[in-house]
Amino acid sequence: MLSSIVLRRLSSTMASHPPKDPIVVVIGATGTGKSKLAVQLATRFNGEIINGDAMQMYKGLPIITNKMPDDERNGIPHHLLDFIGLDENPWTVNRFVKESSRLIDEIRSRGKLPIVVGGTHYYTHALLFKEATLTEETGDNNGPDGGISEPAQEDHPMLSRPTEELFAKLQEIDPDMAARWHPNDRRKIQRSLQIWLQTGRKASDVYAEQQRRTTNGHGKGGEGDDIDGATQPANSAQVEEQRLRYPTLLLWLEAEDRALKERLNARVDVMVANGLADEAASMTRLEADLRSRGIPVDKTKGIWVSIGYKEMEPWIQSQQSLDSDSSHASSSRGLQDAIESVKAGTRRYAKRQNRYIRIRLANDLVKASMLDKLFLLDCSDLTHWDSAVEETASKLVASFLSGRALPDPRSISNFAERMLPVPGEGESQAKRTARRCEVCDKVLMTDAEWSGHLASRGHKKTVAAHRKRDLAGSKAGHEKSLPEGPGG
């Protein structure tokens, strides 16, 4: 096996300097076994686990939130898990980073290894990078909104204005940044304005300075390397140290599309068998109770957008209006439709999670000269979990903690070679500039989107319709201008 050959070489490599205050981070799509691997690693390396899944922070609802059962945790301490009230707002990114950093220090003070695991990747992203909370790419459109918190909007009431007004303001104060965002992308527009309001500097200038620092760190130094009086790093190790909060090993659990799809569908079936409908119904009752007590419920954030509840809710509501057994067939169809919606939503979420890793996270790893710390573990075949996942991960962690050289991540397996991003290639390097197709009244953000739109059937049909209409108008105008006949 390729991974065995590569990892055997690690054991013969001379030890170097062990990293100071290291952490291990387990990431990946839902249903790939992140929690299982984290427990196995914590057991082997005397670790404690910090939950990085926003939905699993909420107390109760173990089926909807997919919490690992207590009897499978092997006695490993889990932090930031199962403790937020269901009526509470989700944690902001900054709050997660602050509390996780405190916990990492506490765990380390006990002589243990901090292991962060979870699927809310913008949480993990912000924890890894010192400047991530100032970047425009830390949000996620699923789960709690990674955008602007209510306290931030209270501090800066402008951020609560309609999106159209916010975009106009951003065009006024920072046109370069406005050109990068779609006019309807409220979260990113808000974030760019928030940076300006909090720092007095344009977001485009902040990002440009970060980019200069990273670029200078890869060179030999020289004139212009000193920015704002700060000495810039001279090599990739210093770039990594400057940008990262902790020396980090990232383990990305990934599976072939077909295998993951089947696994996720089966997982939802198990959730249904274990009482998914009952849990969703309990949330409906909670909502009614909160509203009866005058407590507002924002169903666009927090636990209310969890996959499993929002798809089941229409069916649950429909059950309340049933008054006879004659509706049983309709009810069964409605339940099956709801279950299929849960499955489809879960599959879409998994794709978004992996896309976040491939594009957003990988892009910052490249900038930090840290892409070589991202290892993909192939969990497509669960019968090979022990060798392909647990053993491989354990040897990587052992080498990382002892300071031994790590292999090329793309050499671990054929799947890793195929799936891991290559610096300088792919969408992560795509320049975002808004361009509007006046014919279709549509905004496109990248060269690939623009080219794809121009080649699309919809664009061509719209162009043809415009030409036909213009031709008809021209012909009508021509006929109207002709002289009338005799006696006319």
Q: Are residues 7 and 90 in the same domain?
A: yes
424 and 449 co-located in one domain: no
> 351 and 250: one domain?
yes
Residues 418 and 470 in one domain: no
pLDDT tens per residue, range 178-189: 998 989 888 889
Least confident stretch, 23-37, 108-122, 419-433: 419-433
Could you tell me the pTM of the whole model?
Answer: 0.72
Query: What pLDDT, on a 0 to 100 scale, did the predictor assign at position 299?
Result: 85
Based on the fold, state whether residues 364 and 461 are members of the same structural domain.
no
- The terminus-to-terminus CA distance of the chain in angstroms comes to 93
Could you tell me if 70 and 124 lie in one domain?
yes
251 and 357 together in one domain? yes
Query: Is 254 found in the same domain as 355?
Result: yes
Q: Is residue 276 part of a domain?
A: no
Q: What is the pLDDT of residue 191?
A: 86
Instruction: Report the run of H or E that residue 126 belongs to, with start and end.
Output: helix 121-128
- Pair (401, 465) in one structural domain: no
Q: How far is CA 153 from CA 139, 161, 209, in A?
A: 16, 10, 26
Question: pLDDT for 81-115, tens place per residue?
Answer: 999 999 998 888 889 999 999 999 999 999 999 99
Q: Is residue 103 domain-shared with residue 18, that is, in the same domain?
A: yes
CATH number of the domain encompassing residue 463: 3.30.160
Instruction: With beta carbons less than 8 A apart as the criterion, state whether 54 and 144 touch.
Output: yes
Is residue 18 situated within a structural domain? yes
Say what angle helices 257-274 and 328-355 make with each other, to 10 degrees: 140
Query: What is the model's pLDDT at position 256?
Result: 95
CA–CA gap between residue 368 and residue 363 (Å, rounded)? 9
- Same structural domain, 418 and 353: yes
Is 375 inside a domain boundary? yes
Q: Is 486 a domain residue?
A: no
Q: What is the distance, to the nearest Å, from the Cα of residue 444 to the centroid of all Cα atoms in its chain?
A: 21
**What pLDDT shows up at residue 471?**
77
Give the residue from 102, 100, 24, 23 showing the smallest Cα distance to 57. 100
Range of the domain at 460: 435-481
| pLDDT value at residue 380 | 96
Domain termination site, one of 429, 455, 471: 429
Q: Which of 317-321, 348-352, 436-440 has the highest mean pLDDT?
A: 348-352
Examine the fold and report which residue of 391, 414, 429 is the final residue of a domain before the chain moves on.
429
**Do the domain assignments include residue 323?**
no
In a domain, 225, yes or no: no
Whether residue 141 contacts residue 352, with contact meaning beta carbons closer than 8 Å, is answered with yes
Q: What is the pLDDT of residues 67-79, one digit of tens each?
A: 999 999 999 999 9
Residue among 398, 401, 417 at smallest CA distance from 409? 417
Residues 409, 451 within the same domain: no
| Residue spans of alpha helices (H) in 235-275 | 236-243, 257-274
Counting the structural domains of the chain, the total is 2
Summarize pLDDT for 342-384 with one digit per residue, the tens. Answer: 999 999 999 999 999 988 899 889 888 889 999 999 999 999 9
- The CATH number of residue 43's host domain is 3.40.50.300
pLDDT band at 423; cut points 50, 70, 90: low
The closest of 378, 374, 361 to 409, measured between CA atoms, is 374
| pLDDT above 70: residue 466 | yes
> Considering the domain boundaries, does residue 99 fall inside one?
yes
Whether residue 6 is predicted with pLDDT greater than 60 in this model: the reply is: no
Q: Answer yes or no: is 267 within a domain.
A: no
Q: If pLDDT is split at 50, 70 and 90, which confidence band does 12 have?
A: very low
What confidence score (pLDDT) does residue 269 get? 98
